[in-house]
Amino acid sequence: MSETLESLKPQSETRKVMGGKVNTYRRENCDNWQCSTYLNGRNWRVSTHEDSLARARDFAEDWYLGLRGKAHAGILPKETRRQGKKFKDAAAKLLEEAPILTQGQGGPTWLEQYELKLNGVILPFLGEKYFNLTRRGACNSTT
């Protein structure tokens, strides 16, 4: 037997659907087909939950047309990775509300030191990063 373990491993397969706008593919060691497309500035992926290529292609076409319909209606988000606030905006809001939150227990020097640490250490690294408020639940105000 000249077959190795690598040759017995199932290889991934890829097919184009709808003129190349949708990729239908099967990953290694997976029976179900997946589909993906690029729309509204981002990649979209979903499992078809089908092991038949014909049914997977039908699913992929319906899924893509549904996405296009949502995009045309304006209910599909354009860029989901950048939704939320920047860390520097939340930090500014925290510094604004810190005297109220601490109720004067920290004192004015504590607040000054806290602001120095935030501006000097944390904000240079995290200031331009986004975080999603719906996942964190750490900030009640979205204004």
Question: What would the pLDDT profile of 16-25 be if each residue is shown by its tens digit?
Answer: 999 999 999 9
Q: What is the mean pLDDT of the chain?
A: 80
In a domain, 116, yes or no: yes
Range of the domain at 109: 83-136
Residue 114 has which token pair? 């806290």
Do residues 125 and 111 share a domain?
A: yes
Clarify whether residues 67 and 91 are in a common domain: no
Fill in the amino acid letter for 106.
G
Domains in the chain, number: 2
Query: DSSP string spanning the chain?
Result: ----HHHHSPPPEEEEETTTTEEEEE-TT--S-EEEEEETTEEEEEE---SSHHHHHHHHHHHHHHHHHHHHHT-S-S-GGG-SEEHHHHHHHHHHHHHHHHTTSSHHHHHHHHHHHIIIIIHHHHTT-EE-HHHH-------
Compute the radius of gyration of the chain from its Cα atoms: 25
User: Same domain, yes or no, for 74 and 90?
Assistant: no
Give domain status of residue 90, yes or no: yes
Q: Are residues 67 and 109 in the same domain?
A: no
**Is the residue at 142 inside a domain?**
no
The answer to the question of residue 117 being in a domain is yes
Residue 54 sits in the same domain as residue 106: no
Domain limit, last residue, from 53, 80, 107: 80
Q: How many residues does the chain have?
A: 143
Asked if residue 4 belongs to a domain, the reply is: no
Q: Same domain, yes or no, for 68 and 92? A: no
Residue that wins the pLDDT comparison between 57 and 135? 57
Give yes or no for a contact between 38 and 26, defined as CB atoms under 8 angstroms apart.
Answer: no
Considering the domain architecture, whether residues 18 and 75 belong to the same structural domain is answered as yes
Question: pLDDT digits over 53-101, tens only?
Answer: 999 999 999 999 999 999 998 888 766 555 667 888 888 888 888 888 8
| Same-domain pairing of 96 and 58 | no
